């Protein structure tokens, strides 16, 4: 019985307010509770003091308690809702890159670490915009920013959940694929590369095209995220060294994992 009462009290008093609907429910529950308690006290007092005014006093108490509690509880609930929304915004800012809206480097690798800690496997693709400095120097930073934003949007659209996309830094992006074979990961990367070649980014008055190089490495339970990143980074460097605008997998990785298939992860 005490545990049941405790659960009821928790629902009444500790329900988190995340929306206007939650706010209305919370205010209604607590207001009803206050009115019932006030009426109960009023009835007891009037039965002892003067039962003849019980009904009139009960009406007045109900009205007063409802109005006062609604005003006070509503103000507290609105403050709690505003605090929740502010915290959500702050959490979003700490997790995402402000320019692109993608996960920032820190949170991207936190997600990968979490997947790896649950023994999940997958494929890490590192993507880097080719000759981005030249784009900035030639066309200016507004065009460069448009290229960054456009590439980020394209990567996000091409890799929906459960894939994870983040901005690693500058013009470098990370993509985590949660399932598939190495060939399928390469096909996904190649499709992104070819799609990018058809896109233009910039302003209505000036637009430029961009190219991208990518390196792929497997994330497996016996290889840490840090080691996986190092492999993908080496593959990306190889793509740059071999002429850019291409997808590369280190030869030793291909020999080791060419037939590996990563099943869909549920974490």
Q: Which residues are catalytic?
A: 171
Taking a C-beta distance cutoff of 8 angstroms, is the pair 165, 156 a contact? yes
CA-wise closest residue to 26 among 62, 67, 75: 75
Helical packing angle, 54-95 and 20-49, nearest 10°: 150
The Cα–Cα gap between 123 and 18 comes to: 35
Taking a C-beta distance cutoff of 8 angstroms, is the pair 237, 216 a contact? no
CA-wise closest residue to 80 among 14, 6, 11: 14
The Cα–Cα gap between 30 and 78 comes to: 14
The Cα–Cα gap between 77 and 79 comes to: 5
- Which residue spans within 110-232 are E strands per DSSP? 122-129, 164-169, 172-177, 180-181, 201-203, 206-208, 212-219
Q: Which helix (H) or strand (E) holds 248?
A: strand 247-249
Taking a C-beta distance cutoff of 8 angstroms, is the pair 209, 116 a contact? no
């Amino acid at each position: 019985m005490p545990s049941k009462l405790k659960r009821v009290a928790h629902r009444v008093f500790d329900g988190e307010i995340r929306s206007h609907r939650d706010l209305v429910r919370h205010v209604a529950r607590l207001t009803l509770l206050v009115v019932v308690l006030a009426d109960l006290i009023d009835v007891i007092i009037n039965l002892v003091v003067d039962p003849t005014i019980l009904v009139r006093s009960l009406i007045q108490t109900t009205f007063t308690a409802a109005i006062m509690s609604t005003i006070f509880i509503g103000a507290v609930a609105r403050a709690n809702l505003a605090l929740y929304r502010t915290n959500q915004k702050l959490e979003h800012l700490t997790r995402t890159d402000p320019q692109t809206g993608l996960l920032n480097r820190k949170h991207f690798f936190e997600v990968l670490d979490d997947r790896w800690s649950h023994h999940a496997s997958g494929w890490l693709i590192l993507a880097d915009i080719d000759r981005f400095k030249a784009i900035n120097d030639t066309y200016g930073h507004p065009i460069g920013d448009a290229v960054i934003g456009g590439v980020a949007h394209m990567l996000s659209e091409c890799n929906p959940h459960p894939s994870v996309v983040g901005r690693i830094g500058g013009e470098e992006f990370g993509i985590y694929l949660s399932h598939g074979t190495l060939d399928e990961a390469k096909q996904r990367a190649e499709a992104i590369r070819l799609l990018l070649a058809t896109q233009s980014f910039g302003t209505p008055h000036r637009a430029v095209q961009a190219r991208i190089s990518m390196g792929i490495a497997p994330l497996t339970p016996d290889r840490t995220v840090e080691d996986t990143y190092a492999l993908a980074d080496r593959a990306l460097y190889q793509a740059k060294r071999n002429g850019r605008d291409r997808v590369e997998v280190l030869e030793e990785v291909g020999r080791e994992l060419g037939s590996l298939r990563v099943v869909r992860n549920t974490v």
